[in-house]
Structure 1
Amino acid sequence: MKCLVFDVWGDFAHYRKFYTTSSPLTFSFPPRTAVAGMIAAILGIDKNEYLKYFTKDKANIAIKLIKPVKKSRISYNLIDTKTAKMMSKIQNRTQVTFDVLKDCGYRIYFTHKDENLYKKMKELLKNHKSYYTLCLGLSEYIANFKYIDELEVKEEHSKDYVYIDSVIPFNEDMLIEFEVDREYFKDTVPNEMNEDREVIEYKKVIYERNCKPIKCIINSFYNLKEGENIVFL
């Protein structure tokens, strides 16, 4: 199976956690749903219909941290744009503190069953072109991207410990060898949405904050020719 590999990065990012309200917290990496949105932006697929192209039975997406997770706080003055007829007349503002990711970068691994869509994505990445501006969660957090390679990935099965380089789907029965120089974090992220933008799957994941691989026993993973091991979300 062929897999496109590309990097996205930016100064700031925000992927709002679904259970936060007045002070939005952020996930430490873009969930699969957000990565699907990035790919759709590059391909020029309308935001109201792109989700049907990236269901799990059509697209495989894996995510790897390439920069350590760093977070900061930024205060925003929010206004009610529905009642603001003239921007200069706005009197009321609500100050909200946002949890944001700082100096962030991710490596994306992408495959798709539609050969035409896959080839179009490859050409756009290689020529550093996109139909819409890429952003990291919020429209003001502009992202850059870079084509890395097209690689053959092979599904592997092992009963022994292996190092996994990407974000890993987690379950409580998973065996992980916790090493002394690692910082492990666990989270629950939205993983798939339907065309009405309703989340139909949440997934528990585990990752290492400083981009180091995790040593674990996992039933199925994919091996790349460079020796990397990844798991599709």
Structure 2
Amino acid sequence: MLIVLPPSETKAPGGSQGPMQVSFPSLDPVRSSLLDDLSTLSLPDMMSSLKLPASKIEEARENLTLRSAPVMPALFRYTGVLYDALGADSLPPAAWSRLAIGSALFGVVRAGDLIPRYRLSGGSKVPAPGGSMPTMKARWGELITSALSAEPFVVDLRSGTYEKLGPVPGAVTVRAESVLDNGTRKVVSHFNKHYKGELARVLALGPAVSSVDDVADVARDAGMTVEVAGAQVTLVV
């Protein structure tokens, strides 16, 4: 089982000196081309191409030297609401082995892969040699899909942008809905990542699962209210 998390725009700084170490070697050619293309941009072009505000200039500057930048485990590099709910620092190694993260720069990485801090989103366009501006989807093609489809069972918690970079046929997907006073449902937006982080934690710590019903059972055992429709699990909150 592999639980694929969305990345975060914000990433923890720092790390230790050493080479990047990333899984899924079939993705290396695109990773390398992106690293090369980012490193050749001027800082103003970087800011413009990635549509970054002036407050993010230092993060843009880091994109120029990613191959020599400090690295840390991916599960500590990404931050925010989902990762707070996941509580990576209290997960045992066996739970880490079940977790991966989608990435515009790396395609997908496993939790323990060593990566630098970078600034690149799924909707970005990085100038390529010859002056073209391919989308991230165009760059990745079917490579992410192929890499993840080789896993026996995938729970895909990525957001729409990152799921589109490499959709996984047959993967279990998750959404969160709240019940309004009039009985109707509303898709949770603000706390969506929090609930996905909680689900990822119980799945990483729980028994191995191999079906959408297994995912629902683990969630119910953890006190969550869930519904199943096809390959989608809905958390009712």
Q: Shorter chain as normaliser: what TM range?
A: under 0.3
The answer to which structure has the higher strand fraction is 1
**Greater RCO (Cα-Cα under 8 Å, separation 6 or more):** 1
Q: TM-score, normalised by structure 2?
A: 0.22
Relative to the length of structure 1, the TM-score reads: 0.22
